[in-house]
């Protein structure tokens, strides 16, 4: 049974990714999030032999070395890493708050980079042909008012992933992104119905992106069926135009 590490499993997309990875890939999932939410509790109860939760605040990226080698590594040999955790700071850049901006970059960019560092070192040490997946955002490709700063973090991940794929492909380590469109999640719950309709109308399908469809794409990229796919960004967004 392969072990997959997933960040941001406490709700919505992260919990759905965990469930699909367990069911489709027959994997053991280590889920990281700050809180032990109802969704995490449900996963732990439903999959007692395939799921374990670790409480950790990913803004504390300086302690990732310790958490990886002294906790995560001891649970099982990690063969896939899914970077799903994200903090959304929505505002106009003219209102940028440096403290909030720094926090977002710690969670969305620095933490995934450092976690990837130790994951790859571990894969190389154990001759593992692993898979790394970054969940990004359509805002890195299409302009949305108030999302310039958030989009910059997701664009950084896509650039990072493509270069990781180039650096370590010869060792069989793959790196890809799944780029979702607008989803109905807790992160988007504060957006007005009028604004949501404007966003939906920018898509070919005129609806919100389905969470299960995004999660299925992520699970696929960590499976053996995708072993020839690397350096790519798979856009799952109902056809944003």
List the CATH number of the domain containing 70. 3.40.50.720
Judge whether 156 lies within some domain. Answer: yes
How many domains are there within the chain? Answer: 1
Name every residue whose Cβ is closer than 8 Å to that of residue 213 and which is 6 or more positions away in sequence.
236
Judge whether 223 lies within some domain. Answer: yes
Domain ranges, residue 46: 3-236
CA-nearest of 123, 103, 104 to 115 is: 123
Task: Give residue-wise pLDDT tens across range 179-236.
Answer: 999 988 666 556 667 777 888 888 999 999 999 999 999 999 999 999 999 999 999 9
pTM of the model: 0.95
Q: Is 200 exposed, middle or buried (0-12, 13-18, 19+ CB in 10 A)?
A: middle
Task: Give residue-wise pLDDT tens across range 33-90.
Answer: 999 999 999 999 999 999 999 999 999 999 999 999 999 999 999 999 999 999 999 8
Judge whether 15 lies within some domain. Answer: yes
φ, ψ (nearest 5 deg) of residue 44: -65, -40
- What is the average per-residue pLDDT within 148-173? 98
Judge whether 107 lies within some domain. Answer: yes
φ, ψ (nearest 5 deg) of residue 169: -60, -35
Judge whether 241 lies within some domain. Answer: no
Name every residue whose Cβ is closer than 8 Å to that of residue 219 and which is 6 or more positions away in sequence.
17, 20, 21, 24, 25
Judge whether 64 lies within some domain. Answer: yes
Judge whether 122 lies within some domain. Answer: yes
Would you tell me how many other CB atoms lie within 10 Å of the CB of residue 69? Answer: 13
Task: Give residue-wise pLDDT tens across range 122-151.
Answer: 999 999 999 999 999 999 999 888 899 999
pLDDT given for residue 188 in this prediction: 59
The two tokens of residue 64 are 């990732």
> Reduced to 3 states, what is the DSSP secondary structure of residue 220?
helix
Judge whether 188 lies within some domain. Answer: yes
Q: Is the pLDDT of residue 11 over 80?
A: yes
């Amino acid at each position: 049974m392969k072990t997959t590490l997933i960040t941001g499993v406490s709700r919505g997309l992260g919990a759905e990714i965990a469930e699909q990875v367990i069911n489709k890939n027959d994997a053991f999932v280590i889920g990281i999030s700050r809180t032990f939410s109802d969704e995490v509790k449900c996963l732990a109860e439903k999959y007692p032999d395939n799921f374990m939760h670790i409480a950790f605040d990913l803004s504390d990226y300086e302690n990732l070395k310790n958490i990886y080698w002294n906790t995560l590594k001891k649970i099982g040999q990690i063969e896939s890493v899914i970077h799903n955790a994200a903090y959304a700071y929505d505002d106009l850049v003219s209102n940028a708050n440096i403290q909030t901006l720094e926090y977002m970059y710690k969670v969305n960019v620095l933490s995934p980079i450092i976690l990837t560092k130790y994951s790859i070192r571990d894969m190389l040490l154990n001759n593992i042909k692993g898979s790394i997946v970054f969940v990004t955002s359509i805002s890195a490709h299409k302009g949305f008012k108030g999302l310039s700063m958030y989009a910059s973090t997701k664009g950084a991940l896509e650039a990072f992933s493509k270069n990781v794929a180039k650096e370590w492909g010869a060792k069989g380590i793959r790196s890809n992104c799944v780029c979702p469109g607008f989803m109905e999640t807790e992160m988007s719950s504060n957006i007005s119905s009028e604004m949501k309709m404007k966003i939906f109308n920018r898509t070919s399908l005129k609806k919100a992106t389905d969470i299960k469809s995004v999660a299925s794409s992520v699970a696929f990229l960590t499976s053996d069926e995708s072993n020839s796919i690397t350096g790519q960004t798979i856009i799952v967004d109902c056809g944003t135009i």
